[in-house]
Chain A
């Protein structure tokens, strides 16, 4: 990981978008099932169909959309809008770290490409991008392509979910509630770079598990990930001059 002047530049191509879409296949069943499950939950909470589709289209972040239903109401004032936005922010705060991680790869893309495309960042295309980048890839289309596909699927499946109920009677039965953690676990393998990862990963694991045990909510991802990164920063590294 050199910051040298001759560093290859990131770019976006149609081929990269298609490659990203091919790499996204493992995520599609989970996205279809949970996108429709959000529609079903929203119907039960009393959102109109339009509000449900707008949530999927605008927010486009499943866990935070589901959690936000807990604070959904008929009458909105400043305080209730602020509260639900803050809740959504805390559930999605992990994406700040995902973006920070991708910055050293794609940060030099032109802003007119970069800033709009970040609207499409999700757990799934983040992990696709991290693995592709680890293998030396430079095409940010690998993030954008699946993002566009996921957005259309996510928005579309909310409608039958809302009108007809969930596609899969009990998503738990086939493990659909656990697709993302299973993929993340598998992806830890190619992410492992050697002994320098041992203490950061241990620190991340302990900190996240403790945070999850002590506090409700979603702080555990951010606390654990920051602890791992800080541990790596504090430990002496091979690249210290």
Chain B
């Protein structure tokens, strides 16, 4: 077992505390913001579309960037979810597709 350095430099701890603060601003900021926005019909429609829009905006660019095997895995996950509505089954099918295609060099 090599010697383990258990120290932490003051500068590093300062940076980590500020990074954590920046992250908490993100975690809590949306809640804080929406407490100050009047909920009109338009805002309600925007909020209703938000979760799906976040998912699409995460999945699509990452899939395009990662290539055909990743896109195939995403499509399989959607199809399995449409058929069985079980997220763990969709994940398993997506992962199986991805690792199989990667093993084949796709």
Q: Which residues of chain A have a CB within 8 Å of any CB of chain B?
A: 1, 3, 25-26, 47-51, 54-55, 58-61, 64, 68, 74-77, 80-82, 84-86, 88-89, 92-104, 107, 114-115, 118-119, 121, 127, 130-131, 163, 172-176, 178-193, 196-197, 200-201, 203-205, 207-209, 211-213, 220-235, 237, 239-241
Partner of B56 from A81, A201, A240 at Cβ < 8 Å? A201
A43: shortest Cβ distance to chain B, in Å?
Answer: 10
Q: Which residue of A lies closest to B19 (CB)?
A: A88
Q: Is the CB of A49 within 8 A of B4?
A: yes
Q: Are B56 and A224 in contact (CB under 8 A)?
A: yes
Query: Chain A residues with Cβ under 8 A from B104's Cβ?
Result: none
In the assembled complex, the Cα of A231 lies from the Cα of B75 at a distance in Å of: 25
What B residues does A223 contact at CB under 8 A?
A: 57
Residue pairs across A and B with CB atoms within 8 Å: the count is 317
State A47–B7 Cα separation when bound (angstroms). 10
Interface string of B28-56 (1 = CB under 8 A from A): 11110111000101111111111111111
Number of interface residues of B (CB under 8 A): 77
Q: Is B31 within 8 A of A107, CB to CB? A: yes
- Whether B81 and A190, one on each chain, are in contact in the complex, defined by CB atoms closer than 8 angstroms, is yes
Q: List 29 A-B contacts (CB under 8 A).
A: A3-B44, A26-B91, A58-B19, A59-B19, A61-B23, A75-B11, A84-B15, A89-B26, A92-B27, A100-B47, A100-B50, A118-B24, A119-B24, A127-B55, A180-B58, A181-B62, A183-B77, A185-B81, A186-B81, A186-B87, A189-B82, A189-B85, A190-B85, A225-B50, A226-B53, A229-B53, A232-B46, A232-B48, A232-B49
CB B30 to nearest CB in A, in angstroms, measures 3
Residues on the A chain within 8 Å of B35, using CB: 103, 107
Contacts A59-B19, A185-B78, A209-B64 given; indicate if A48 touches B7 (C-beta within 8 A): yes
Let me know if A186 and B26 touch, CB within 8 A: no
Which residues of chain B are near A237, meaning CB under 8 Å?
41-42, 45
Does the CB pair A89–B22 fall under 8 Å? Answer: yes
A100 engages B33 (CB within 8 Å): yes
Task: Write out the residue numbers on chain B whose beta carbons fall within 8 Å of the beta carbon of A80.
Answer: 15
